[in-house]
């Protein structure tokens, strides 16, 4: 109880509240503008919070994350272009409602049920997080190694059309993670005599380059337009706040979608975009009027907006309890946690329980914050849809360079950002998924160190990974994840 009280008061500190609101408004703007993702926002802002106390820095990052996922639905509804990938499914019914003259109601449903999904996701973190962490405390080196492999296998399985590209991306991330000092013997590896590489490649500059600079390069190259549908932002919204009856009627589909979103969020690497799509599809299957889905169904919009926000709590559960990123944003948040001196994983729940309670409280406050302002700012944010892309690109580049330099005051980090940005641009052109690279870069040191410790304990025998029940189960799940995804893709290609 003492640790809960301590974490709670850290979260409600007035200065933390200010940064939470600042992050919320930043996320609202970033999420509304197509092309800017929550991952990009958190990656760019993480180094800018380096000088803040953990409660204030995380308040800003969590505010950005939650509000960006919610506000991605604004442009999805108004101009049929998802502000973030998490809102892809919201375009199915959101824009159809706008064409029916119900844009205001669609935005109101987006606000209400994004909040409902977010709160239910946090509730799942509270219920599942601590028991899962206690169970994970029984893990040894073999279990941690196979856990890392399972995390990477699930990311590869949902990474895109090509399993091979996903695996190549994962191996590339692992290769980068080998740079630096050997975790067992302390000898130099792949440093080429550069002192800057003794501690390995810094995680944050790579993230900023891949998701920030790389995306800007790609947008400049492809010259994508903000309003790809050729429509003009809606200015007359009509009624925004849903009635009590509408909320009551939509609650069952919201609960189903929240459950789906939480489960998908717990799976490492799945993400809110997949949660929204799966929830929309499953709610359609059980709907009384499935023919209305895609034609302006309030239930369809509710399903997608609830699931993608509920996914955040599931993703945070996996990240905090096991140290595995639930999605790309939580991969960046791992870097933020480490930056603040806290290593995500089961030990964090035991040794830094107050920190865990602080994060949970901040998640709740972030959802309350965007609920409080969502109804009022939705109309205002439509005006930002006409901002010149050149202005957005320049802002992102400046923030990326300033943020990456600020961590270590190192020009070498700027070089990493540039190289990663070019790599991110090339990978986008080749449809190589970025998720496995990021996940492998994070899990690489954990996988290598624990594999070698396990082999030392077993005197070099690999049977240790198959004779321990938990590690065997994780290996089987990894194989199943890869096989089912491969067979599914073959069936899809064969049906074309």
Report d(CA 63, CA 58) in Å as an integer: 8
> Residues with Cβ < 8 Å from 320, sequence gap 6 or more?
125, 129, 133, 344, 345, 348, 349, 356, 359
404 touches 208 (CB < 8 A): yes
Sign of the torsion angle spanned by Cα atoms 416, 418, 422, 424:
positive
Indicate the range of 133-137, 343-347, 386-390, 490-494 predicted with least confidence. Answer: 490-494
Return the number of other C-beta atoms located less than 10 Å from residue 218's C-beta. 18
Domain that holds residue 272: 2-494
**Chain segment 225-260, per-residue pLDDT in tens:** 444 444 444 545 667 788 899 899 999 999 999 999
pLDDT, residue 63, reads 92
Report d(CA 413, CA 419) in Å as an integer: 10
Burial of 127-138, coded b for 16+ CB within 10 Å and e otherwise, reads: ebbbebbeebee
Residue 176 clears pLDDT 80, i.e. is over it: yes
167 touches 154 (CB < 8 A): no
Number of domains into which the chain is organized: 1
pLDDT, residue 490, reads 65
> Residues with Cβ < 8 Å from 249, sequence gap 6 or more?
none
Q: Pick the more confident residue, 172 or 491.
A: 172
CA-to-CA separations, 181 to 15, 153, 185, 200, 412, in angstroms, rounded: 39, 26, 8, 7, 18
Report d(CA 193, CA 275) in Å as an integer: 45
155 touches 170 (CB < 8 A): yes
The DSSP 8-state label assigned to residue 231 in this structure reads P
> E strand or H helix at 180, and its extent?
strand 180-181
pLDDT, residue 378, reads 65
């Amino acid at each position: 109880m003492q640790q809960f009280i301590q974490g709670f008061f850290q979260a409600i500190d007035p200065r933390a509240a200010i940064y939470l609101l600042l992050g919320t408004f930043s996320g609202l703007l970033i999420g509304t503008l197509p092309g800017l993702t929550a991952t990009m926002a958190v990656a760019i802002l993480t180094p800018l919070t380096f000088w803040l106390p953990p409660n204030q820095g995380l308040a800003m990052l969590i505010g950005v994350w939650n509000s960006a996922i919610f506000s991605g639905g604004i442009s999805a509804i108004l101009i049929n272009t998802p502000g973030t990938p998490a809102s892809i499914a919201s375009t199915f019914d959101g824009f159809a409602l706008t064409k029916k003259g119900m844009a205001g109601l669609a935005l109101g449903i987006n606000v209400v049920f994004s909040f409902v999904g977010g709160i239910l996701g946090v509730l799942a973190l509270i219920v599942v997080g601590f028991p899962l962490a206690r169970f994970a405390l029984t893990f040894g080196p073999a279990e941690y190694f196979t856990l890392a492999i399972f995390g990477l296998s699930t990311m590869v399985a949902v990474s895109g059309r090509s399993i091979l590209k996903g695996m190549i991306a994962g191996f590339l991330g692992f290769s980068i993670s080998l740079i630096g000092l050997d975790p067992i013997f302390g000898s130099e590896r792949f440093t080429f005599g550069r002192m800057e590489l003794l501690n390995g490649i810094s995680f944050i500059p790579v993230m900023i380059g891949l998701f920030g600079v790389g995306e800007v390069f790609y947008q400049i190259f492809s010259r994508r337009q903000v309003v790809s549908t050729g429509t003009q932002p809606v200015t007359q919204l009509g009624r925004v706040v849903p009635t009590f009856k509408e909320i009551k009627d939509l609650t069952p589909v919201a609960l189903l979608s929240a459950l789906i979103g939480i489960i998908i969020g717990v799976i490492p690497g799945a993400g809110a975009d997949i949660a929204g799509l799966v929830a929309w599809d499953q709610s359609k299957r059980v709907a009384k009027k499935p023919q209305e889905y895609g034609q302006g169904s309030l239930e369809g919009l509710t399903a997608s907006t609830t699931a993608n926000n509920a996914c955040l709590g599931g993703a945070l559960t996996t990240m905090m309890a096991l140290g595995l990123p639930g999605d790309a944003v939580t991969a960046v948040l791992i870097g933020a946690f480490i930056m603040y001196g806290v290593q995500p994983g089961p030990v964090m729940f035991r040794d830094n329980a107050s920190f865990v309670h602080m994060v949970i409280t901040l998640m709740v406050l972030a959802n309350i914050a965007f609920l409080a302002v969502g109804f009022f700012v939705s109309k205002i944010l439509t005006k930002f849809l006409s901002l010149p892309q050149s202005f957005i690109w320049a802002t992102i580049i400046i923030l990326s360079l300033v943020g990456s330099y600020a961590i270590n005051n190192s020009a070498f980090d700027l070089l990493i950002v540039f190289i990663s940005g070019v790599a991110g641009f090339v990978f986008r052109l080749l449809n190589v998924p970025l998720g496995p690279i990021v996940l492998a870069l994070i899990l690489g040191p954990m996988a290598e160190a624990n594999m070698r410790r396990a082999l030392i304990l077993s005197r070099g025998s690999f049977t240790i990974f198959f004779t321990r029940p938990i590690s065997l189960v994780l290996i089987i799940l990894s194989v199943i994840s890869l096989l089912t995804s491969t067979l599914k893709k073959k069936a899809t290609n064969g049906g074309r």
